[in-house]
Amino acid sequence: MEGYAYASLDPHKEYYSWHDQKYGLTESLFRLSDDMKVEPWVAKSLDIEGNVATLTLNDGVCFSNGNPLTADMVKRNLERMAEVNVRFRFISNFKMEAKDDKTLIINMPSPMPTLKNEMASPEFCMVDLDATTDIDNNPISTGPFVVEKFIPEGDISLVRNEKYWGGKVNLDAVKFYSMRDAQSRLMAMQNGEIDAYDSLSATDIEIFKADPDQYQLFTVPSQARTYMFMKPDRIPESVRKAIILAIDRDAICAFMGGVLSPTYGVFDENVAYGKVQIPKMDLAKAKEIIEADGYKLNSNNVYEKNGKPIPAIGLYCYSGRNIGDMAVLIQEQLAKFGIPTEIKLVEDPDGTYMTDKDFDICFYRMTTDKTADPMTFIDTVLKFGAHQDIIGYGSEEIDKEIETLRFTVDPEKRAELANKMLQDFFDANVFVPLVTYNRNVVLRTGVTNFSEKNPYEFYQVNANTTAAKK
């Protein structure tokens, strides 16, 4: 298998659990099905009555060392999550008590109707905190595989969990190689060095399509999206509006050859909370808006106002996940319209413009619908001081709306509140949804059950996965 390399396997920190779960090392309390429904996994059920939630564990769940998973150990794992991951700090407000070995009682400050959805996030996995001595390199968890060898920011080898609580594990072992270069992945697949990978390039897709006897190709729209933030204090509103209307997403996706699909919102349009979408490309309207604000095209095909051309707007981006190519295409489209830009390429967006907030326009990628509910995106982007509150949009007033959403039980009312908040956000003309990623997966003939039809990137290897015959 092929995968990205990370520095740690600690599943409660950062987003490391997304990879731990792909490896078959960890399992969350609940899981998301291929059709985005929340299903039991390590936990059997979560019943909420008012401010009290009752979590019941599945029968026979144990760690890879044979130690049973108890409700008290779940409590300790949740407490650790709250300590080490700011995204789950809300858990620190819970009062939790193990009623018995399989039942955890959670007292919440207010009703939290999305708690079950949250528990389907990969971070809600369990580690044997008593037996684990090196959580960064070898966490003891409940998945069908255990770590044999882990090289930080390198490869990881895993072997079958002989004490897996979920039944028979088909594979003896699995290895994930660190291959960030698309050409390396393609060659490794063609040479028989690996049996599966996702995040295919357009070239990969065409090659594997042409050889159906040897390869199985699967495509499913994911919930991962790339979007842009635009700084309102650096770019006038009329120019921001024009930029939104001048981007041709269809052309971008056609150039990428099946890797991407256009998106105009942060959620699928067919879900109740995804009704807010930005307008599609309309060059005539873009021209009307920018010229109504006093801009005129000069002889260099650049809009100017009062004799001053629009200065080159910085497009801050990184090369991974096709984002660098996307920036080049948008640069060409905006130049043709009359808005000059210059590309500012960085290696790590989180360590640069997402932290210091020094940008004109920046690109970012996120799984926007991680739990089949709008809360995660809104909490991460709109909440004051959140990691992606980088354009000065968050406020105390918006935070009050977010807290109302957080504790609203009725699904229709939740959708109404979410759509209202997103409409206000889009109306500020500071945020531009661009594309959603197609989850393209290639499997060598004989490989099965690689979670290839699931729209989420944090599922891959599992107990039922089979390998190609050599």
Q: Cα(171)–Cα(238) distance, rounded to whole angstroms?
A: 58
Q: What is the pLDDT of residue 87?
A: 87
pLDDT number for residue 340: 98
- Long-range contacts of range 39-44, CB-CB < 8 Å, 24 or more positions apart? 41/120, 42/69, 42/125, 42/126, 42/142, 43/119
Tokens 């390199």 correspond to what residue?
137
Who's near 283: CB < 8 A, 6+ residues apart?
245, 246, 337
Q: What is the pLDDT of residue 2?
A: 52
CA–CA separation, 368 and 352 (whole Å): 21
Q: For residues 148 and 159, what is the distance between their CA atoms, to the nearest angstrom?
A: 6
The DSSP H or E segment spanning 329 is helix 323-337
The Cα angle at residue 102 between residues 98 and 106, in degrees rounded to 5: 40
Amino acid, single-letter form, for residue 228: M
Burial class (CB in 10 A: 0-12, 13-18, 19+), 396: exposed
Write out the chain's pLDDT in tens, 470 residues.
555 568 999 999 999 999 999 999 999 999 999 988 899 999 999 999 989 999 999 999 999 999 999 999 999 999 999 999 988 999 999 999 999 999 999 999 988 888 999 999 999 999 999 999 999 999 999 999 999 999 999 999 999 999 999 999 999 999 999 987 888 899 999 999 999 998 888 889 999 999 999 999 999 889 999 999 999 999 999 999 999 999 999 999 999 888 899 999 999 998 999 999 999 999 999 999 999 999 999 999 999 999 999 999 999 999 888 899 999 999 999 999 999 999 999 999 999 999 999 999 999 999 999 888 999 899 999 999 999 999 999 999 999 999 999 888 888 999 999 999 999 999 999 999 999 999 999 999 999 999 999 999 899 999 999 998 76
**Which residue segments constitute the domains of the chain, with CATH numbers given?**
2-176 (3.40.190.10), 222-437 (3.10.105.10)
Can you read off the two tokens belonging to residue 464?
A: 């039922």
d(CA 314, CA 316): 6
Torsions phi, psi for 9 (to 5 deg): -105, 5
**Which pLDDT score is estimated for 470?**
65
pTM of the entire predicted model: 0.80
What 161-166 contacts at long range (C-beta under 8 Å, 24+ apart), as own/partner pairs, is 161/64, 163/62, 163/63, 163/64, 163/65, 163/66, 164/64, 164/463, 165/58, 165/60, 165/61, 165/62, 166/463
pLDDT of residue 36: 87
Q: Is 35 exposed, middle or buried (0-12, 13-18, 19+ CB in 10 A)?
A: exposed
- Please, how many CA atoms are within 13 Å of residue 411, restricted to the half-sphere of its CB? 6
Nearest-angstrom CA–CA distance, 385 and 365: 19
| Three-state DSSP state, 100 | strand
